[in-house]
Structure 1
Amino acid sequence: MSDGTFLVSIFGQIEYIETLAAAGTSWHCKYEFVSGADWKIIGGIEAGLSQMANAINNGDKIVLNFPVEVQFKSTNPYGWPQLVLSVYRGMQLEGYGRTHIPLRPGSHSLEVNLSKPQASSLLGYIGSFFGYQPELLQPKMLATTAGNNLIRMESNGTVLLSLNLISQGLQTLGYDVGKMKD
């Protein structure tokens, strides 16, 4: 690529959610890729919504095996892509997660910790007894640092991702991300 750009291709799947799941509950996951201003999506899907999956026994993993695939083009590694997840039980938010996409080409297994926002006022706390759950208007704001220190969160499980990364043109531009895993 002689025009000063490089390509990054990401594909894989959201494998499962691991949290305290009651038998018979339905779960699903939203995902969204977030990247810097110099990054452009040239293929695949930037955001998606998984199918519903049910927990059969108490405490089971909720298996989604939901595919994700996206290709980026950029001239600058600043704003390297991140994946933001929103996990729901029925229509109730159970947590948000965020992870950077690995720099090194190859296969990666990523465990993303989930956390959910807590009420910030007494009225919100009382509302939680009646089913009110605070949610972020734009979960992709978690991929930045702007105002995140003002959000009270509590840990609430993990999501396992299996991602494969292929890059082209990074070494030509002088970037060294290491060798592929054997």
Structure 2
Amino acid sequence: IQLDPAEPQRKEGAAARIRTLGGGLGGSTCFEVAVAGEIENIQLPEGSRSAPLVCRYQLVYGPDWALVQGPDSGVSQSACGPLGGGAGGASVGALSALNPFYVPTPPSVVINFPFNAVFKAQNAFGWPRVLVCIYATDWCNRRVIRGYSSVHVPTQPGRHVRWLRLYCPVASSWLSRFMGWLTGNRAEYIDPKTAAHSEGREVVRVRSGGRVKVVLNVLLKDTKPFNYSF
């Protein structure tokens, strides 16, 4: 998993914004958003859970925001899903026989990856988003993308549970898909932050599949002086 080489420059710019917002103008001129979250589990379609999965998150926010505390990205440990079969498969078959409308829930790959951050800003433009990228290993033990998704940090304080639908880009032709499968260079975004924005995504062919459970605990501070009522 390659990190963005321009990340140190962005962090230096964030530090300068922190000095401008918090030091030069005083703490009362900014409102704060604190989020403590956890990426709990991943649900992928049948046949995609056998390989080890890795989750990478990244916080995406506008130029008027400053990250005061916490890392802006992180990579989880590798995790594998259940092998399947056994008593679980028998119970699902029994429930399906009793209820023809029963839809079994796909098994989850437990991640339990925590993250936290504190933001400071003067306007709501560029409200922070949590970008999630799921990676797996292919038949040659090469890291390949399994899906992207993102969600805004809720504007209401409290505990929030979000299910993020995953999607990943698809090559334009079957030959490109076959060569990507053979060489391990499958279609993916050059900049993963593309999945957190709307510009340029309308021309990308994608395939959906799977979802991620994210729990977010949000705390707001000093929003009333800015006439923000959430």
Deviation (angstroms), 1:80: 0.4
1:124–1:132 contact (8 Å) kept in structure 2? no
Rg: which structure is higher?
A: 2
Partner of 2:223 in structure 1? 170
What is the rounded CA distance, in whole Å, between the counterparts of 2:122 and 2:116 in structure 1? 21
Return the TM-score normalized by structure 1. Answer: 0.90
Aligned structure 1 segments of 4 or more residues deviating by more than 4 angstroms:
21-24
Distance 2:146 2:72 in 1: 22
Match of 1:82 among 129, 143, 149: 129
Aligned residue pairs, count: 177
Specify the SS of the correspondent of 2:151: strand
More strand by share: 1
Choose the corresponding residue for 2:147, options 82, 95, 99.
95
- Partner residue, 1:26: 52
Corresponding residue number in structure 1 for 2:91: none
5+ long unaligned stretches in structure 2:
1-25, 85-105, 138-142
How large is the Cα RMSD of the aligned pairs?
A: 1.7
Q: 1:172 to 1:123 in 2, by over 3 A?
A: same
Determine whether 1:11 maps to 2:36.
Answer: yes
SS of match in other structure, 1:125: helix
In 1: Cα distance, 2:178 partner to 2:188 partner: 16
Q: Which amino acid aligns with 2:77?
A: Q
Q: Which moved more, 1:140-149 or 1:117-126?
A: 117-126
- Is 1:106 paired with 2:158? yes
Structure 1: unaligned runs, 5 residues or longer? 178-182
1:71 to 109, 118, 122: 118
Cα distance between partner residues in 2 of 1:96 and 1:74: 27
Instruction: Give CA deviations for 1:150-181 in whole Å, capped at 9, x if unaligned.
Output: 1111101000001100010112221000xxxx
CA separation in 1, counterparts of 2:81 and 2:27?
51
Shift of 1:117: 0.4
**Aligned mates of 2:135, 2:79 — CA distance in 1:** 11
Contact 1:55 1:62 in 2 (8 A): yes
* Partner SS, residue 124 of structure 1: helix
TM-score w.r.t. the length of structure 2 is: 0.72
